[in-house]
Each structure stands twice: as structure tokens, then as C-alpha cells.
A and B are shown apart, each in its own frame.
Chain A
Amino acid sequence: MDQPTVVIIGAGQAGYQVAASLRELKYQGHVVLVGDEPHAPYRRPPLSKSYLLGEASVEHLSFSPDTFFSKRGIELVPGKRAKSIDRSRHVVHFEDASTLEYEHAVLATGARARPLEVPGAELRNVFYLRTLNDADALGARLTSVRSAVVIGAGFIGLEFAAVAAKRGIGVTVLETADRPMARAVSKRMSDVFTREHAKMGVKLSFGCSVTRLQGSEGAVRVVQTQDGRSFDADLVVVGIGVVPNAELAADSGLATENGIVVDEQMRTADPQVSAIGDVAAHASRFTKGRRVRLESVQNACDQARCVARRIVGQPTPYDAVPWFWTDQGPLKLQIAGLSAPGGEYAVRGDPSGTTFSVFSFVDGRLACVESLNSPADHMLARRLLTKGAELTPQQAADAGFDLKSLV
């Protein structure tokens, strides 16, 4: 190794951001950014929204011009998959038998779509929506279908459902839980999304477990559920969560537990190996120290910046307020903090419409704010949570109370 080298495994949002931030912070060593997809780094969030609607082209997905990497001395290596890490020798081995020596390795390997494991899942026209290639395959098929079944009423499934409905496709969403986005939002918010999706023409079915996909001539035709129902489908989209790509770390002897275990500076037990983004499990003050793995742009970007600062000798712990967003037709939901079931709730605004926020409290303290078409509440929520402001449920529910007075 001629000079210090940071090897970043994974060229998604987190991997890209580490490389960019290292150069912004004037890091002088080599930076190598290796991704297993055949593309330069790109933004995933539009894939299930504007890209599938045809409102954003592939050009809109890229983070930067093609010249960005060469101009900054970032060696971008697409289409290459890491096989193993020899931590005693500080070497990453790749599937093409090449190797890279590192002073610091950053694992930004992300997550993959959780596979549907029922008979028929391998049929044609069963799609996932994680990568650009996934979106292109799905988009090509969308032009010629009349009916679609979405398995899973999470963000991805519902975003796709809104797109499909807007494109005039009859769409049914099947969900095992009793409400949409059950892991991420309060029942109050879920109920409004159920109501509003129905208005968009999306059919939703809850408590509904898929048991089999039936096809003809190799292509899916019918989705069957445990309660004996059948749903016609020219196309199926599976959105049942993700699996963290933590095997590379686990195989090299690093601790994994729903992701790669890292400390408050995104370090694994090996000080020369960090993990960030969708694959990293960190202890958060927003979960009272319990380890959490967050799948979000905010988490990817902020953890990347945290690691870059540490590598250049300006360490600061990762302590950013988590925030998320999803766009589903006319619904823009922004979430600050982490949903905590079982707490106390306060609603600000009118949930019979589509402009309101749900504030949730745990042990009397503000934990999470879900804002529907209410960016003012969202921006204030981020500041309230950053500050640990003392807001009461009564104040939150009182539209006349000025939240700004607490930040």
C-alpha cells in the first residue's frame, strides 16, 4: 500500500456519501468505491415514485456528473462484488479474484429485498423494487398490464400501488398485519392511509397471508391467500422488507445482529472496519440505547459523514434525529424520530383530511412525529427532537400552541 487507502464496499447512497465527504474534508489518501451493481451510484428513492411514473429519467437519479469521481480522485469500480475480508492482512478479496489492501474499510453493503418464499414465487412477472434494474424490468412490464397485486403494505408497496393506480392499473395490496406501514407509523396515521388509498382506487386487504402464486405458461396469473381467496394478477410486486447484506462482515468474524454491529462512531469491533447505512446496527438514544438498523436516506448520509469525519481525525458521535419520508400519490408523509408503540398520542390538525400530524410520546417525552402534508410540523419536530424539548401531549394537540416557542 503506497499511501493510506479507504476501501468502501457498496456504492449506494451511504458509500457514495463517504467518498464525497472524505474529499470535501480534504482526505489525502486513496479512496476506492466498489459497488456490485453495473451502474454508477444513483438515488434509490425515486425508483418507486417519479421514476416509475416516468416523471424522472435515469439522468435524474445520478448523484453527480460522470466526471465527479475522476475530478476528485475517487476510484469508482462498479460491477464488482466483495467475497471476503482478511482483517489480519487488511485485504478485501473480490469474486473476480482481485484484491484491495486497505487502511480503513467501510462496509456500506446495504440490504436486499426479502424474498417471497411461497410456491410460485419464481414465476415470470413477479418483481421486487430495490435496484435500478428491478425498476427498469418492472417499468417495462407496467405498460401492458391491467391488474397488479402488491404483497406487503410498507412504504415500497404503497408507493408502487399509488403509481400503478395513477397509471390506470387495477391494484390490490395484500398485507399480513392489520394495517398499512404498521412498523413505521401509528394506527391513527395508518387508518388515514387506508382511507386515502381507497380514494386513489387501491384495494387493500389486511390480515391476509399469501400462500401460493399460480401461473400459466410460466407467468403469474393468480395470488392465493391463506383465507382461501384468489386475486387475479398480471403482475406481482413483492415489498415485504429487506435483509441486511451483513454476510461479508459475519464471515470475517465481525459481530452481526440484524445488521453489522457498530458503536456510536460506526466502528465495528475492528477499528479499521466501519459499517454504515442500511446494513449497520447502532445503539441509538432514540431507542433508549437499543440497537437499531435504519433504512433511510438520512441515516445513510449522516452515518457516512460521521465516518468520513472520523477518518480525517475530526470524530463526532452519530446522534442525528432519524427522519424519513414517503410520497404516495397526493400524500407526503414525513416522520421525525422513531415510532414507539404503546405510548401516548396527540393529533395536531384534522385527521379527517390529509393535513395533520401525530405526535407520540414515551414516558412523557416526545418520541416521534408523523406529519402528513405538514412540512412545518416536520421541520419543527426535527428541531424539537434534536433539542430534547419538553413538549406535552396537550400542547402538541393544541393548534393554538406555538411549537416554535420551544425550539
Chain B
Amino acid sequence: MIKLTFIDATGEAHVVDAKPGHSVMESAVKNDVPGIAADCGGALACATCRVYINDEWQAKLQPATEMEQSTIDFSEDRTPGLRLSCQIKVTPELDGLVVRTPESQH
């Protein structure tokens, strides 16, 4: 079991069992976790699946590709620890990952 925790803007935690091979975005959407719009469905086109991840977990993740990083760097949201959850693949090492979701993706 790979447990991921999504903490929404109200502070409520949503814990899901994620499948390896899914993205973190899909893990949220398929488990009905609020706070992730994912308008483009994971095509790295819309930046509406933003999550914030603390430094400790950031260090354990595959770093963002140049395409993801550029999208993040030039979006309006400049909160530290920002990632696009559609670009983070679920692996066993992610068990216990905690991410925060923004108040709005738009």
C-alpha cells in the first residue's frame, strides 16, 4: 500500500491508497480528493493540479523536468514547494507523502 495524504486549504486531510504507475494527480482524482482540478488531464498544459510539498519530501522526489519547472516558474502561483501533481509518478518510495492543495486552482 502506498499512502498519500492531501491536505486541503481548510486543513482537512484526505488519505488515499495510491497505485504505482498512476500520477499523484490521478491518485487524488480517482479517489475523489477535492482541490485538484486537472483540467487538461495530465498533459502538462494547464497548471491546475498544483500541490505544495515540503523540502524533506521534495528531496525524495524525482526533480521536475525542464517543461514542468518552466510551467511552475512562470505561473502566477509562486508558493514555495510548488509542483504539478500530474508530473509526479507514484512509486513505493512515496508511501507517506504529504502534499497540500491550494484554495483554488484557477
Q: Which A residues form the contact surface with B (CB < 8 A)?
A: 24, 43, 45-46, 49, 60-65, 67-68, 71, 297-298, 301-302, 305, 323, 325, 327, 332, 334, 373-380, 383, 404
Contacts and interface: CB of A to CB of B under 8 A. Distances in A.
20 contacts: A24-B34, A45-B40, A61-B41, A63-B29, A64-B32, A65-B31, A71-B32, A298-B39, A301-B37, A302-B106, A305-B106, A323-B46, A325-B45, A373-B67, A375-B44, A376-B71, A376-B73, A378-B71, A379-B75, A383-B74
Interface residues of B, number: 24
B35 to A, nearest CB: 10
A371 to B, nearest CB: 10
B26 A379 contact: no
A302 B43 CA distance: 18
Given A375-B67, A380-B74, A327 B32 contact: no
Given A297-B39, A332-B67, A65 B46 contact: no
B78 to A, nearest CB: 11
B70 A375 contact: yes
A179 B14 CA distance: 49
B46 A298 contact: yes
B67 A43 contact: no
Nearest to B68: A375
Given A64-B29, A325-B45, A379 B74 contact: yes
**What are the 7 tightest A-B residue pairs by CB atom distance, in nearest-first order?**
A379-B74, A376-B70, A325-B45, A375-B71, A43-B41, A376-B74, A375-B70
Q: Identify which of A24, A323, A378, A379 gathers the most chain B CB atoms within 10 Å of its CB.
A: A379
B76 interface: yes
Nearest to B73: A376
B51 interface: no
Contacts of B45: 323, 325, 332, 334
Contacts of B29: 63-64
Contacts of B71: 375-376, 378-379
Nearest to B67: A375
A49 B70 CA distance: 23
Given A45-B43, A298-B39, A375-B44, A65 B30 contact: yes
Contacts of A24: 34
A220 to B, nearest CB: 31
A38 to B, nearest CB: 21
Contacts of A378: 71
Interface in B47-105: 47, 67, 70-71, 73-76
Given A375-B74, A376-B73, A379-B70, A46 B31 contact: no
A67 B74 contact: no
B64 to A, nearest CB: 11
Nearest to A404: B74
Contact of B26 (A46, A60, A327, A334): A60
Contacts of A63: 29
Q: Identify which of B31, B45, B47, B76 gathers the most chain A CB atoms within 10 Å of its CB.
A: B45
A45 B44 contact: no
A301 B39 contact: yes
A40 to B, nearest CB: 13
Contacts of B41: 43, 45-46, 60-61, 297
A301 B40 CA distance: 10
A68 B44 CA distance: 24
Contacts of A376: 70-71, 73-74
Contacts of B37: 301
A359 to B, nearest CB: 15
Contacts of B67: 332, 373, 375
Nearest to B47: A379
A379 B70 CA distance: 8
